[in-house]
Each structure stands twice: as C-alpha cells, then as structure tokens.
Structure 1
Amino acid sequence: MAGNRLLARPWLPGVELFHADFSGQAFGRHSHDAFAVGAIVQGVGGYQCRGQRYALPAGTLSLMNPEEPHTGHAESARVVYRMLYVEEARLPALLGRKRLPEGFRELNPADDGQVAAGLARLASAFEHSDALALESELLALLEQVFVRHGGLRAVRAAPRDGGMTAWVRDYLEAHHAQAVSLDELARLVQRHPRHLIEAFRRAYGVPPHTYLLQRRVREAKRLLLSEQTPVEVALGLGFCDQAHFSATFKRFTGVTPGQFRRLAAT
C-alpha cells in the first residue's frame, strides 16, 4: 500500500475521510456502518456489489449505503481515491433534517465534478484548516451529494436575518485570532449550522470561515509591517502551521508573507 491515510477529528465523531493510494491491494467482501461518498482521483478502481462488477475511471463517483456488502480492488496498476464515511445516525443533525435521506439508488452516478471537487476541498480542510472551515466544507458536501444523488429535497432559502448575521460578523471580528467552530457559532445564535452559513453568505457574499480567513489576512499584513516574522504571525493568528498561513495569505493577496514583507520594504 503506497500512501493510505485515514483522517478524523475527535470533535467530529462519526465522520472519517479515507485517502487511498495503492497498487495490488484487494479488499474482501465487507460493509460499512456509514454512508460512503467517494471519487476516483487517479487510475481505475473496481469493486463488486449488488451482483455486478464495476470499473471506475478517474472522475467517477462511488456512493454506498450503510451495511451494503461489496469488495474493492484496483483495476489499474495504481489507483488513488478519496472516500468520506458518515455514520447513519449522525446525518439528521449534520443535515439539519428530522429524517434521514432515502439513500443512494445508483452506486456510480454521473456527476459534473462538483462532488469530487467538494471532496478535494474537504480533504484539504481535514489536513490544513481549523474547525470552522472543516465543518463548513463537510456540511456543504453532504447537502450537495444527498440532494443530487440521495433523494433529499433542497431547502428553500430562509428569510434574511440581518441582526443575526451582523452579530456573527462582529463575533468573528472580535475573535479572529482564536479557534472558532461552526457548532459554537450555531449554538450562540440558536441556528442550525447550515442555516447560519446560508444566511451569512447572503449577507456578506462569503461563508463565515472565508470571512474569518480574510480578517486574519488583513491583520497579518499589519503585523508583518510591524516587523513580526511570518512564523510569529502564523502562531499569533491561529493558523495550524506556517504552511497553511502562507497558502492562505497568497490565496487572498497573490503573494506569500515573505514576498509581502520584501515588497513593502522597497
């Protein structure tokens, strides 16, 4: 096995992301106690389920319901895929629904890349982001995949709530250097996390985690100009490491923190 990784967080029970990268490995007949949402990144994956054998080229989705027996193997010399597992009992709370979705009728549905892209963002958030970004990416992906492929009805947009979103904005401004979780914000304003994200995006054009990152980058510019080093700034503003700080800074400014300091000094 070349580079398999299982990503999980203790404060996000019942949710795991498996990044598989293997050659020649085969998985015997088994099942999971969770919904599985996957996408082939490279090569061709394969498995047997419901009496059929499937070959999945790169870009193909792979969806599985809980307790559905299946096998797994590589159809090509090497296969890379991402698979999100979410325990069945966790879905109603995560989706903000009283009932579970119907489940996946088709195992390998055609998709325009949105779910695969969401899995890629979620994988990056698992490894490099804080709780607010990770939870936001997770809820967005679950809503998307179950509406598109799991029989879940899309929820109509809730009415605007300027007072609530303004309070959340002020809270993020005041706590921009601290670890803020989506569950924490939702409890403070007594809204489901998904409803909070939707209302905040309507009010400010971006979800809360993007707003928080933008605020940190603005503060980072000020601190870098005051002669703090990029390492000091990253630690002081709550980034998980300097690499995450540098990537985020460049995402919003087009340059790295070091380049910004040098350009400002000229």
Structure 2
Amino acid sequence: MHNEALSNYIANMQLHISEAAFFHCTASWHHMDVLSDFNRLYYMLGEGGHIRIGEEEWYPKRGQLVVMPAGTMLSVQTMEGREFSKFFCHFNARSGEQELFQLLETPSCVDVADSEETERLFGELVDHYYSSELTSMLRAKLLLQELLCQFLERGGGAKLRQPANGSVDKVSRVLAYIDHHLADDVTLEQLAELAHFHPNYFIRFFKSATGRSPMQYMNQRRMEQAKTWMVTTEITISEAAERVGSSLYQFSKMFKQYTGSSPSEYRKTMRMQRLQQGQQLPLP
C-alpha cells in the first residue's frame, strides 16, 4: 500500500525551478547553517566538497547526484586546499501542499550509471533555464524530472516517512481504495470514512496531500487507466467506459477533456507513434 501511495505522490509532483547553473567552488567557498524552503540538486564534476545535511556528513565523489531537502539545516563547503565544479538546481517538488523530499527517505548521494549522459542532461537543463524560448522552462522541468528519476532509481528506491499523525497511512489507504474501485460509484462519504474524517475536513486533507479534490483525483486515475488501455489493449471504447463506471457518452466527453482527443483518435495517434518508434502493438 505504501508503494502505491509513493507512486501516486511522485505522479502528482509539481516542479518549480528557482535557479540552475554550473559553478566552480573555490577553496574559500562555503554556505554554513543554511535553512532553505527549496531543495538542492547537485551533480558533482569533481571532489573536495564537504556537506552536512542535518546530522549526517557527506564527502561526495565525482559522478554523484546529491539531493538536499528543503527545510533541513545544511552546510556546504570546500575542503581545505581543494576546489571542485558542480552543476546545481534549486527546485520545489510538491505533491499538494507537501514537499516531496520531506516525505521521502532516500540516500543523500547516489552514483549515476552514465556520467557523460548525466552531465549532458544537467548542462541542457541549465541552458534551457536561461533560454527565452517559449518551451524552454517546460524542457528544463522535463530534464529535472529525468535527473530525479535517476536519483530515485539509483538510490535503491525510496520510502515514505511516517509522520506522527499517521497521515501517510490514511492517504495510502484512500489511494489504494480508489485504484481498486475505478468502476464503482464511490462516494465522498466512503472515502472520508476510510480516513476517519468528517467529509468536509477530508476534502481539505486530501487536497493538501494530492493537489486535487477526491473526485478530481478519481477521474484523473480513470482517464490515466483508459489512456493505457487505448494504447496497449484491444478493448473497445464501450468496454473501457464500463471499466471506469461510466456511460459511453460521458466517458468519451471526459476523455477528450483530459487528452484533447476522442478515445479512437487518441488510440490511432499513439499507435502510429509507437510504430514509428519501432515498438510492438498489442496482439488482436
């Protein structure tokens, strides 16, 4: 259940980049006892740095990604007589009102699989951050997503922290219930009861965790599943509508609102893209 909750937290993550650059750290460079409301992501291009994150101390190596969560006291400095270079990105990654890296237990430093590729990605992120092109910030966010995926995957996975009030368990229970009842007429009262909250309070609680109301989230999950079915299976549009507990008319209308295309148009377009990329289509 926690894995499902974690996957949903990450899927609902909203990124904002506040700064990104290449930086050479001289022998006198340091930031001591800093408390920021944004996360820091470093990609180390050399060695000689000393980082303290809370009570933990790290000496990152060349070719490592480092994440320093928002709201954590940290110090970063160059070791005596040393210099090193790095790429860095300051960002927020929120799921609802909660900062993602305050919810996750992860290692602080991870080795990347391909140092040249990671350096290229981070370099492109920085270039797009400073570009004035229309799509530049969107591309920078996509590159940051890729780097964060590398960090989470190379770190051996991540775990959700367990707050004292048990809110993660409550959200996990509700998200798992929604995923297993996409075809059912689930009510707000049923979901609130799972979390042991009054329905009015539950709406605020759920939105603070996911960024969406319970019904908005459920409809989003239905459409995500339907998009997958359109591309990877041969089920009819009527069958897809039935699987998410909707009439054919309502399903087609909602699908177009979420994707900009009708279910049949979406299926045709996505399958054409897969063929062009040499990917297999589902067997009839």
TM-score (norm 2): 0.43
The structure with more radius of gyration: 2
TM-score, length basis structure 1: 0.46
Q: Flag the structure with more relative contact order, 1 or 2, with Cα contacts below 8 A and sequence separation at least 6.
A: 2
